[in-house]
Amino acid sequence: MFNIERWQEIFEAISKNKLRTFLTGVSVASGIFILVILLGAGRGIQNGIQNQFAQDATNRISIWPGVTQKEYKGLGIGRPTVLKNRDYEIVTQKYEDLIDKKSAIYSVWSGNITYGKETGTYRVEGVNPDYQFIENASIIEGRFVNFRDIQNFEKTAVIGKKVATDLFKNGKKALGERINISGMIYKVVGIFKDPGGEREESRVFIPISTAQKAYSAGDTIRSLAFTMPKNTDFNKAVAESKKFTDQLGKVLRERHDIAPDDESALYINNSLEEAKKIYKMTDIIQGFFWFVGVLTIIAGVVGVGNIMLIVVKERTKEIGIRKALGASPASIIIMVLQESVFITLISGFIGLLMGLLLWAGVGPMIESDFFSHPEVDFNIALTTVILLTVAGGFAGFVPAYKAAKIKPIVALRDE
């Protein structure tokens, strides 16, 4: 029940010790402020890492050839692994039920591309139709490479948004225009954008069959890329993906006479496994931030407890008179607890508000590859408030209990 006289006593006590109350409040507010800053930073790290993984399909498996570093079946080291169309066909047929999207890739890192008087050097990749989804590329005009392009060795090109901006000036439409790629004329049939930004949009996709023919690659491919069907259970998806990559590695190593433990001859990257490692690391970072923040709050709460002990000591005679006049131990405890919780909550709310305002103002201006949109959500703020309430009560309980045990006759003798 609301007791105006008790609140008047609290404000009177605070007004008599302004500096002491202010310093106590600062210790609590700074603890909450630091906690909010650390949690916002942890969320920023998580967002940045998630953005990095969003650039490609999260369940992507990529395979690149390397050079042998171990002898095997009488064959020496230093043999380059050369992937062929047949490797792609065997794998896609053998594991058809496990694969969602698939593509062989023939990459040219420095393709010279010209349109009229404009020229530039961009990465050119010969791909299969599914590669659009493996790369998370979104078509903004036209279409992507299709199966007819592959079958007929069509000279079609899908260009990134950055390439279109560089080559087609003054609002010139790129779709349907013809560009020169390393001496051959291609028709622009599509323009794409990519979550990875300009770096990923500085690419040109052409049919893989056309790329192999144009660059005299025969049936050689530079890499393979697959995705598996999505699974809502992350740990199960990681396990299935790991099993699939092990099977892929075994099949391809056997085909190319590579030692089973020769990691340098065949590189296999599993984005789900990498994501799991990164997410574990961010969880550890977030946990560490919580640990540091909570310790800081505890330091502030200890300060509140010490101050309340001093308050009880100063008001010993007053408490004795109250008890002599019939005040119950419960009322004494409530009196001390109320002041402790009030100081803690007000100080904590100020620290919380300052932290939220800081991230709201500064957060949008901080943007990097692995740090993005630092923020503290409502659930975190609510948890902090609950933590404050409990901490305020805990800080005042020992002094309150001590006050309730004071005997009136002893208190009245106190000087």
Is residue 252 located within the same domain as residue 299? Answer: no
Is residue 203 located within the same domain as residue 240? Answer: no
Is residue 378 located within the same domain as residue 323? Answer: yes
Instruction: Pick the last residue of a domain from 264, 291, 325.
Output: 264
Contact 275, 234 (CB under 8 A): no
Torsion of CA 376, 377, 380, 386, to 10 degrees: 110
Confidence band for 284, pLDDT divided at 50, 70 and 90: confident
Q: Which domain holds residue 252?
A: 67-100+228-264
Contact 300, 309 (CB under 8 A): no
Residue 317 lies in a domain: yes
Is residue 151 located within the same domain as residue 291? Answer: no
Asked whether the CA dihedral 402, 407, 408, 410 is positive or negative, the reply is: negative
Residue 403 lies in a domain: yes
Is residue 376 located within the same domain as residue 289? Answer: yes
Contact 338, 6 (CB under 8 A): yes
What would the pLDDT profile of 17-48 be if each residue is shown by its tens digit? 677 677 777 777 777 787 777 777 777 776 66
Confidence band for 382, pLDDT divided at 50, 70 and 90: low
- How far apart CA 212 and CA 139 sit, in angstroms, is 24
Non-local (6+) Cβ contacts of 201 within 8 A are: 160, 161, 162, 163, 192, 193, 194
Is residue 84 located within the same domain as residue 177? Answer: no
- How far apart CA 210 and CA 150 sit, in angstroms, is 7
- How far apart CA 108 and CA 123 sit, in angstroms, is 6
Residue 40 lies in a domain: yes
- How far apart CA 190 and CA 177 sit, in angstroms, is 10
Is residue 19 located within the same domain as residue 146? Answer: no
Is residue 110 located within the same domain as residue 195? Answer: yes
Residue 168 lies in a domain: yes
Sequence letter at residue 52: Q
Provide the 3-class DSSP secondary structure of residue 299: helix
Residue 291 lies in a domain: yes
What would the pLDDT profile of 191-244 be if each residue is shown by its tens digit? 999 887 888 899 999 999 999 999 999 999 999 999 888 776 767 777 888 888
More confident: 36 or 258: 258
In the predicted structure, residue 365 carries a pLDDT above the cut 70 = no
Residue 367 lies in a domain: yes
In the predicted structure, residue 4 carries a pLDDT above the cut 80 = no
Is residue 84 located within the same domain as residue 109? Answer: no
Sequence letter at residue 278: I
Non-local (6+) Cβ contacts of 360 within 8 A are: none
- How far apart CA 144 and CA 191 sit, in angstroms, is 8
Is residue 107 located within the same domain as residue 212? Answer: yes
pTM for this predicted structure: 0.63
Axis-axis angle for helices 271-314, 329-362 (nearest 10): 140
Instruction: Please count the other Cβ atoms lying within 10 Å of the Cβ belonging to residue 41.
Output: 19
Residue 61 lies in a domain: no
Number of domains the chain contains = 3
Residue 58 lies in a domain: no
Task: Give the pLDDT confidence score for residue 16 in this predicted structure.
Answer: 67
- For tokens 């420095």, the residue is 110
Is residue 48 located within the same domain as residue 72? Answer: no
**What integer best gives the mean pLDDT of the chain?**
80
Task: Give the pLDDT confidence score for residue 403 in this predicted structure.
Answer: 65
Is residue 288 located within the same domain as residue 407? Answer: yes
- How far apart CA 139 and CA 129 sit, in angstroms, is 12
